[in-house]
Amino acid sequence: MTTLRIVQLTDIHLLAGEDRLHYGVDTLLSLQRVLASIAQLNPRPDLLILSSDLAEDGAADTYHLLAEQLQELHIPVYYLPGNHDDVAHMKVMDSYSNIHPCKSIELGNWGFYFANGQVRQHSHGLIGTEQLSDIKQYLNMHRDKSIVLCMHHPSFEACPAAGCQLQDAQALHEAMAEHKNLRVILAGHTHDDKQDSSKAYAQFTTPSCFAYAHHDSDPAKHADGDFWSGHRLAPEKISYRSLDLNDNGSFSTQVHWVTWKSE
Protein backbone atom coordinates (compact mmCIF):
# COMPACT_ATOMS: atom_id res chain seq x y z
CA MET A 1 0.00 0.00 0.00
CA THR A 2 1.35 3.41 -1.00
CA THR A 3 1.45 6.13 1.65
CA LEU A 4 1.85 9.89 1.24
CA ARG A 5 3.27 11.87 4.13
CA ILE A 6 1.88 15.39 4.46
CA VAL A 7 2.99 18.01 6.97
CA GLN A 8 0.83 20.96 8.02
CA LEU A 9 2.48 24.05 9.49
CA THR A 10 0.28 26.90 10.61
CA ASP A 11 0.14 30.28 12.36
CA ILE A 12 3.82 31.15 12.09
CA HIS A 13 3.24 34.89 12.72
CA LEU A 14 6.74 35.56 11.46
CA LEU A 15 8.37 38.97 11.76
CA ALA A 16 11.48 40.02 9.85
CA GLY A 17 14.28 42.33 10.95
CA GLU A 18 15.93 42.78 14.31
CA ASP A 19 12.67 43.41 16.15
CA ARG A 20 11.10 40.03 15.49
CA LEU A 21 9.76 39.33 18.99
CA HIS A 22 6.02 38.76 19.15
CA TYR A 23 4.62 38.48 22.67
CA GLY A 24 8.17 37.78 23.76
CA VAL A 25 8.70 34.97 21.25
CA ASP A 26 11.53 35.05 18.70
CA THR A 27 9.36 34.13 15.73
CA LEU A 28 12.25 33.22 13.44
CA LEU A 29 13.89 30.98 16.03
CA SER A 30 10.63 29.15 16.75
CA LEU A 31 10.12 28.59 13.01
CA GLN A 32 13.66 27.31 12.59
CA ARG A 33 13.24 24.81 15.41
CA VAL A 34 10.05 23.47 13.88
CA LEU A 35 11.62 23.22 10.43
CA ALA A 36 14.61 21.38 11.91
CA SER A 37 12.20 18.84 13.40
CA ILE A 38 10.40 18.42 10.07
CA ALA A 39 13.72 17.86 8.32
CA GLN A 40 14.37 14.87 10.61
CA LEU A 41 11.10 13.09 9.81
CA ASN A 42 11.41 9.58 8.40
CA PRO A 43 9.85 8.95 5.97
CA ARG A 44 10.45 12.34 4.44
CA PRO A 45 7.32 14.47 3.78
CA ASP A 46 5.99 14.59 0.23
CA LEU A 47 4.23 17.91 0.76
CA LEU A 48 4.23 20.82 3.21
CA ILE A 49 0.99 22.77 3.68
CA LEU A 50 1.11 26.26 5.22
CA SER A 51 -2.38 26.99 6.50
CA SER A 52 -2.06 30.75 6.95
CA ASP A 53 -1.10 33.55 9.29
CA LEU A 54 2.39 33.19 7.88
CA ALA A 55 3.49 36.80 8.53
CA GLU A 56 2.29 38.77 11.52
CA ASP A 57 2.83 42.07 9.71
CA GLY A 58 1.98 40.94 6.15
CA ALA A 59 5.20 42.55 4.87
CA ALA A 60 6.94 41.43 1.68
CA ASP A 61 10.29 41.20 3.50
CA THR A 62 8.76 38.80 5.98
CA TYR A 63 7.49 36.50 3.23
CA HIS A 64 10.94 36.57 1.63
CA LEU A 65 12.46 35.53 4.94
CA LEU A 66 9.93 32.72 5.28
CA ALA A 67 10.55 31.47 1.75
CA GLU A 68 14.31 31.42 2.35
CA GLN A 69 13.81 29.22 5.40
CA LEU A 70 11.44 26.88 3.56
CA GLN A 71 13.75 26.52 0.59
CA GLU A 72 16.28 24.69 2.76
CA LEU A 73 13.80 21.84 3.29
CA HIS A 74 13.66 20.92 -0.43
CA ILE A 75 10.01 19.88 0.01
CA PRO A 76 7.13 21.16 -2.19
CA VAL A 77 5.22 23.86 -0.30
CA TYR A 78 1.63 25.03 -0.84
CA TYR A 79 0.08 27.92 1.10
CA LEU A 80 -3.14 29.83 1.69
CA PRO A 81 -3.79 33.22 3.34
CA GLY A 82 -5.08 33.89 6.85
CA ASN A 83 -6.49 36.94 8.57
CA HIS A 84 -2.99 38.33 9.27
CA ASP A 85 -1.66 37.81 5.74
CA ASP A 86 -1.39 40.23 2.83
CA VAL A 87 -2.34 38.30 -0.32
CA ALA A 88 -0.46 40.63 -2.67
CA HIS A 89 2.76 40.48 -0.64
CA MET A 90 2.53 36.69 -0.26
CA LYS A 91 3.15 36.35 -3.98
CA VAL A 92 6.82 37.18 -3.52
CA MET A 93 7.22 33.59 -2.34
CA ASP A 94 6.16 32.26 -5.75
CA SER A 95 9.59 33.00 -7.19
CA TYR A 96 11.11 30.27 -5.01
CA SER A 97 11.35 26.94 -6.80
CA ASN A 98 9.71 24.76 -4.13
CA ILE A 99 6.79 27.10 -3.29
CA HIS A 100 3.58 26.86 -5.29
CA PRO A 101 0.48 29.13 -5.25
CA CYS A 102 -1.92 26.50 -6.64
CA LYS A 103 -5.56 26.31 -5.56
CA SER A 104 -5.52 22.51 -5.76
CA ILE A 105 -3.19 19.60 -6.52
CA GLU A 106 -3.39 15.82 -6.88
CA LEU A 107 -0.82 13.34 -5.62
CA GLY A 108 -1.42 9.64 -6.17
CA ASN A 109 -4.90 8.72 -4.97
CA TRP A 110 -5.31 11.97 -3.02
CA GLY A 111 -6.42 15.48 -3.93
CA PHE A 112 -5.89 18.71 -1.98
CA TYR A 113 -7.97 21.87 -2.19
CA PHE A 114 -6.64 25.05 -0.55
CA ALA A 115 -9.55 27.31 0.40
CA ASN A 116 -9.18 31.04 1.02
CA GLY A 117 -11.44 32.06 3.91
CA GLN A 118 -9.83 35.44 4.51
CA VAL A 119 -12.08 38.40 5.33
CA ARG A 120 -9.86 41.47 5.14
CA GLN A 121 -9.43 43.36 8.43
CA HIS A 122 -11.47 40.78 10.35
CA SER A 123 -10.48 37.77 12.46
CA HIS A 124 -13.34 35.49 11.43
CA GLY A 125 -13.41 33.51 8.19
CA LEU A 126 -15.84 33.09 5.29
CA ILE A 127 -15.66 30.62 2.40
CA GLY A 128 -18.36 32.32 0.33
CA THR A 129 -20.83 30.86 -2.17
CA GLU A 130 -18.55 31.14 -5.21
CA GLN A 131 -15.65 29.31 -3.59
CA LEU A 132 -17.99 26.77 -2.06
CA SER A 133 -19.22 26.01 -5.58
CA ASP A 134 -15.59 25.59 -6.68
CA ILE A 135 -14.94 23.12 -3.86
CA LYS A 136 -18.00 21.07 -4.81
CA GLN A 137 -16.89 21.07 -8.44
CA TYR A 138 -13.43 19.89 -7.43
CA LEU A 139 -14.88 17.03 -5.40
CA ASN A 140 -17.09 16.02 -8.32
CA MET A 141 -14.20 16.14 -10.78
CA HIS A 142 -12.06 13.90 -8.57
CA ARG A 143 -14.54 11.32 -7.35
CA ASP A 144 -11.86 8.65 -7.77
CA LYS A 145 -9.61 10.36 -5.20
CA SER A 146 -9.74 10.94 -1.45
CA ILE A 147 -9.79 14.67 -0.74
CA VAL A 148 -8.19 16.85 1.92
CA LEU A 149 -9.72 20.32 2.25
CA CYS A 150 -7.28 22.85 3.73
CA MET A 151 -8.34 26.18 5.21
CA HIS A 152 -7.31 28.62 7.90
CA HIS A 153 -10.41 28.88 10.10
CA PRO A 154 -11.76 25.70 11.71
CA SER A 155 -14.88 24.13 10.25
CA PHE A 156 -16.23 23.32 13.72
CA GLU A 157 -16.48 25.36 16.92
CA ALA A 158 -13.07 25.02 18.57
CA CYS A 159 -13.66 28.24 20.55
CA PRO A 160 -16.82 30.28 21.26
CA ALA A 161 -15.17 33.62 20.38
CA ALA A 162 -16.62 35.29 17.27
CA GLY A 163 -13.17 35.88 15.81
CA CYS A 164 -12.39 32.17 15.95
CA GLN A 165 -15.30 31.19 13.72
CA LEU A 166 -15.79 30.25 10.10
CA GLN A 167 -19.07 32.09 9.61
CA ASP A 168 -20.48 29.82 6.90
CA ALA A 169 -19.36 26.52 8.44
CA GLN A 170 -22.92 25.18 8.38
CA ALA A 171 -23.26 25.89 4.65
CA LEU A 172 -19.93 24.14 4.10
CA HIS A 173 -21.06 21.01 5.94
CA GLU A 174 -24.39 20.93 4.14
CA ALA A 175 -22.59 21.09 0.80
CA MET A 176 -20.00 18.48 1.81
CA ALA A 177 -22.60 15.97 3.01
CA GLU A 178 -23.24 14.80 -0.57
CA HIS A 179 -19.55 14.16 -1.32
CA LYS A 180 -18.33 10.82 -0.03
CA ASN A 181 -14.71 11.35 -1.13
CA LEU A 182 -13.97 14.15 1.36
CA ARG A 183 -11.79 12.56 4.05
CA VAL A 184 -10.20 15.39 6.02
CA ILE A 185 -10.61 19.11 6.73
CA LEU A 186 -7.43 20.71 8.06
CA ALA A 187 -7.38 24.12 9.73
CA GLY A 188 -5.33 26.36 12.02
CA HIS A 189 -6.17 29.84 13.38
CA THR A 190 -7.00 28.78 16.96
CA HIS A 191 -3.39 27.75 17.77
CA ASP A 192 -4.57 24.58 19.53
CA ASP A 193 -5.15 20.90 18.74
CA LYS A 194 -8.81 20.02 18.48
CA GLN A 195 -10.71 17.50 16.40
CA ASP A 196 -14.29 16.70 15.52
CA SER A 197 -15.55 13.30 14.39
CA SER A 198 -19.26 14.10 14.08
CA LYS A 199 -19.18 14.07 10.26
CA ALA A 200 -18.29 11.44 7.67
CA TYR A 201 -14.96 13.28 7.32
CA ALA A 202 -12.47 14.11 10.07
CA GLN A 203 -11.89 17.73 11.11
CA PHE A 204 -8.71 18.95 12.78
CA THR A 205 -7.11 22.14 14.03
CA THR A 206 -3.32 22.17 14.30
CA PRO A 207 -1.40 24.12 16.93
CA SER A 208 0.74 27.08 16.01
CA CYS A 209 4.49 26.86 15.52
CA PHE A 210 4.65 30.30 17.21
CA ALA A 211 2.70 29.70 20.43
CA TYR A 212 -0.07 27.42 21.66
CA ALA A 213 -3.30 29.12 22.76
CA HIS A 214 -5.74 28.03 25.45
CA HIS A 215 -9.37 28.99 24.76
CA ASP A 216 -11.88 29.42 27.56
CA SER A 217 -15.02 27.38 26.86
CA ASP A 218 -17.25 29.91 28.66
CA PRO A 219 -18.86 32.19 26.02
CA ALA A 220 -19.22 34.92 28.64
CA LYS A 221 -15.44 35.27 28.78
CA HIS A 222 -15.46 36.31 25.12
CA ALA A 223 -18.49 38.59 25.18
CA ASP A 224 -16.80 41.89 26.06
CA GLY A 225 -14.57 41.99 23.00
CA ASP A 226 -11.38 41.68 25.07
CA PHE A 227 -9.45 38.92 23.30
CA TRP A 228 -7.23 38.10 26.27
CA SER A 229 -10.13 37.68 28.68
CA GLY A 230 -10.88 34.36 26.97
CA HIS A 231 -7.48 33.28 25.67
CA ARG A 232 -4.04 32.51 27.09
CA LEU A 233 -0.84 31.98 25.12
CA ALA A 234 1.63 29.22 25.97
CA PRO A 235 4.83 30.08 24.04
CA GLU A 236 6.62 27.01 25.40
CA LYS A 237 4.37 24.78 23.28
CA ILE A 238 5.01 24.82 19.53
CA SER A 239 4.20 22.09 17.04
CA TYR A 240 3.09 20.90 13.61
CA ARG A 241 0.95 18.05 12.27
CA SER A 242 1.84 15.13 10.02
CA LEU A 243 -0.64 12.97 8.12
CA ASP A 244 0.12 9.62 6.54
CA LEU A 245 -2.39 9.13 3.73
CA ASN A 246 -2.90 5.64 2.37
CA ASP A 247 -3.99 4.98 -1.21
CA ASN A 248 -7.16 3.22 0.02
CA GLY A 249 -8.43 6.45 1.62
CA SER A 250 -7.44 5.64 5.20
CA PHE A 251 -5.02 7.85 7.13
CA SER A 252 -3.29 8.43 10.44
CA THR A 253 -2.22 11.73 11.96
CA GLN A 254 0.02 13.02 14.72
CA VAL A 255 0.82 16.37 16.32
CA HIS A 256 4.58 16.75 16.79
CA TRP A 257 5.58 18.88 19.79
CA VAL A 258 8.88 20.73 19.55
CA THR A 259 10.84 21.49 22.70
CA TRP A 260 11.08 25.22 23.33
CA LYS A 261 13.14 26.92 25.99
CA SER A 262 13.45 30.69 26.26
CA GLU A 263 16.96 31.92 25.56
The mean pLDDT values, 10 residues at a time, for the chain of 263 residues are: 92 88 91 96 96 93 96 95 92 94 94 94 92 97 98 92 91 95 96 95 96 90 80 91 97 91 50
Q: Which of 96, 102, 88, 75 lies closest to 9 in space, CA to CA?
A: 75
Going by the DSSP 8-state scheme, the letter that residue 248 receives in this structure is T
pLDDT value for 142: 98
53: left (phi > 0), else alpha (psi -120 to 50), else beta? Answer: left
Distances (CA, A) of 139 to 76, 113, 198, 259: 23, 9, 20, 38
Going by the DSSP 8-state scheme, the letter that residue 123 receives in this structure is S
Return d(Cα 41, Cα 244) in angstroms, integer. 12
pTM over 0.85: yes
Return d(Cα 51, Cα 258) in angstroms, integer. 18
pLDDT value for 260: 62
pLDDT value for 261: 55
Helix (H, G, I), strand (E, B) or coil at 47: strand
pLDDT value for 161: 87
Q: Which of 81, 93, 89, 88 lies closest to 125 in space, CA to CA?
A: 81
Return d(Cα 191, Cα 40) in angstroms, integer. 23
| Cβ atoms 47, 78 nearer than 8 A | yes
pLDDT value for 15: 94
Return d(Cα 88, Cα 216) in angstroms, integer. 34
pLDDT value for 4: 97
| 110-114/195-196 β-pairing | unpaired
215: left (phi > 0), else alpha (psi -120 to 50), else beta? Answer: beta
Burial of 63 (0-12, 13-18, 19+ CB in 10 A): buried
pLDDT value for 159: 87
pLDDT value for 103: 93
Please name the residues in contact with 94: beta carbons below 8 A apart, sequence gap of 6 or more: 100, 101
